[in-house]
Amino acid sequence: MRFHRAEPRDSNNQKVLEQWISFNSFASRLLGRGVIDWYDFGIWAIEDCLEMRAELSRLPYRVTVVSQWMEHSSAALAEVMRGGDEKISLNRWRYWKRLLERMVLNSGLDEEGKATAIRTADLMGTELKNVQNGTET
């Protein structure tokens, strides 16, 4: 799975980038519904999308991948990160949320990309509160 979650190398191929988004969306739905327990896959994908350098043209795709993981499996991921170690922790979750918020201000995302980043950061904030309070979404 780790190979398939990697961001495509061909940044000019729209179809390949859309397939990458679709694959991450599918995996996030399976995790969110409890069909699979590949938490690492989601964490690696989010980590790569938010923490690794990228061409500006790739940011909208990366934000979309993160939004898919958060939209479909944020509760499962946050719960794992609540009990995680230094690398996989709620502090990391907060860091990712801040990175998304900074992308809105500094990245050159278009309006749709900014709206997706804001919506995703808001969802992460809500899920963070839920997991800290012990409630489920």
**pLDDT value, residue 5:** 56
Total structural domains within the chain: 1
Residue range(s) defining the domain that contains residue 45: 2-133
pLDDT of residue 108: 77
pTM reported for the whole predicted model: 0.90
18-49: burial string, b at 16+ Cβ within 10 Å, e else: eebbebbbebbbbbbeeebebbebbbebbbbb
- The type of residue at 111 is E
- The pair of structure tokens assigned to 8 is 């495509």
pLDDT tens digit at each of 137 positions of the chain: 444 556 777 667 888 889 999 999 999 999 999 999 989 999 999 999 999 887 788 889 999 999 999 999 999 999 999 988 777 899 999 999 999 999 888 777 899 999 999 999 999 999 999 998 886 65
The sign of the dihedral angle between the CA atoms of 64, 67, 73, 74 is positive
